[in-house]
Structure formats: C-alpha cells, structure tokens
Amino acid sequence: MKMDDLIQAFPDQLKRAIEIGEAAKIGKSKFPVRNILISGLGGSGIGGTILANVLRDDIAVPIIVSKEYQIPAFVNENTLVIISSYSGNTEETLSALMQAFKKEAQIVCITSGGLIKEYAETNDIDYVQIDGGAPPRSAFGQSFVQLLYILHHLGLLENGFKQYLQDAIALLDSEEEAIKTQAKKLQKNLTEKSR
C-alpha cells in the first residue's frame, strides 16, 4: 500500500483504533499512579510527546516521554510506564521495558508484536496489540489512540476524549476533498520552492 493510500485511510485507522481501545483488557493499578513515563521512538514515540502536551491541563500526574535506553531513576511501583513500539523490536524501548519490570513499575505495552509482545506475555504484563503490516510512521492513529484508552482504563482520563475522536473522524470524512486540494497545493508550492 502506498503512503498516499495510508494517509487517506487515516479516518478508518482511527475507527479501528477505537475498536482496539474499547476491547483492551488493562488491569487496574495496584498502587496509586504518581507519574507516567512513555517510552517510544519515531512514529511510536511521537504520540507520547503529543499526549503530554494535549493533556497537561487535564491530568493530575506528570507525563514524561523518553527515547533512551535508560529509564529515569524516579521510576518505581507508583509509575505507569507505557512502552510503545510498533514493531515490538525497538532496542531502546525493549531495554526500557526490562528496566521498568525490574523496578516493579506498572507497565502497559502498545505493539503489533515482536519481542515486546513476547516479553509482555512471558512476564504477565498488560499489552494492547495494534494492527501490523504498515510503516510505523503511518500507524500514528492506532498507537496514539491507545495511549488515551490506557489512561482511561486506569481511571486517569475521563470519557470526554471519545467524543473528540468521533468528531475528528467526522471532520476528516466531511472535509476529505478540501484536504486533498490543500495537500496538492502545498505539494506544488514545496516542489516549486525546492527548484
């Protein structure tokens, strides 16, 4: 599938992400969550950065995003660690997962499979499996929506985000032709400027 097709299918990706999020089985927190660490790189990590900015006035605990092999020293049983790796094989994220497990953090993984899924299954760690088979940067909708649902399942985020997702899908569907027209104009301008 070409990138154009993947981009045009974004509203469908959001719909599928909602299905996955609604069906996700996330255990309740054993300890109060006092901070959140989201570990992910590239297309898998950008959702954490956006989430931290979007929810900074809506969530009572700090959200930190890490793209490193090492996790911060503050991580403990009161930390929710969300491991986000589309492939499930990202070295840095896998390293962060193993360290968080040793520190007895509360962990939830988002992945399409790979070593992270295996590690989660072996160690009885909650995970949300998203659809695989696409370039990671084109799976933003699925991974980002799961971040929202994880926080919701753990009682850290109210229901309101669900309506925002439905509104976003409706807007993208209704404005599809206008968006395509604007994208073609932007592409033309960028092409002309690069000459």
pLDDT of res. 195 = 67
pLDDT of res. 150 = 97
**pTM score, two decimals?**
0.91
pLDDT of res. 73 = 96
Q: At what angle do helices 176-193 and 160-174 cross, to 10 degrees?
A: 70
pLDDT of res. 3 = 72
52 backbone dihedrals φ, ψ, rounded to 5°: -60, -40
Identify the CA nearest to 69 among candidates 47, 45, 42, 98: 98
Identify the CA nearest to 43 among candidates 101, 112, 100: 112
User: What are the extents of the domains in the chain?
Assistant: 3-158
Residues 6+ apart with CB under 8 A from 151: 36, 55, 59, 157
Distance CA 158, CA 59 (A): 10
Distance CA 128, CA 100 (A): 17
* Per-residue tens of pLDDT for the chain, all 195 residues: 677 777 788 889 999 999 999 999 999 888 999 999 999 998 888 999 999 999 988 898 999 999 999 999 999 999 999 999 999 999 999 999 999 999 999 999 999 999 999 999 999 999 999 999 888 778 889 999 999 999 999 999 999 999 999 999 999 989 888 887 887 888 888 887 766
pLDDT of res. 115 = 97
Distance CA 66, CA 95 (A): 12
Say yes or no: domain 3-158 is CATH 3.40.50.10490: yes
pLDDT of res. 1 = 64
> Rounded to 5 degrees, what angle do the CA atoms 22, 138, 177 make?
90
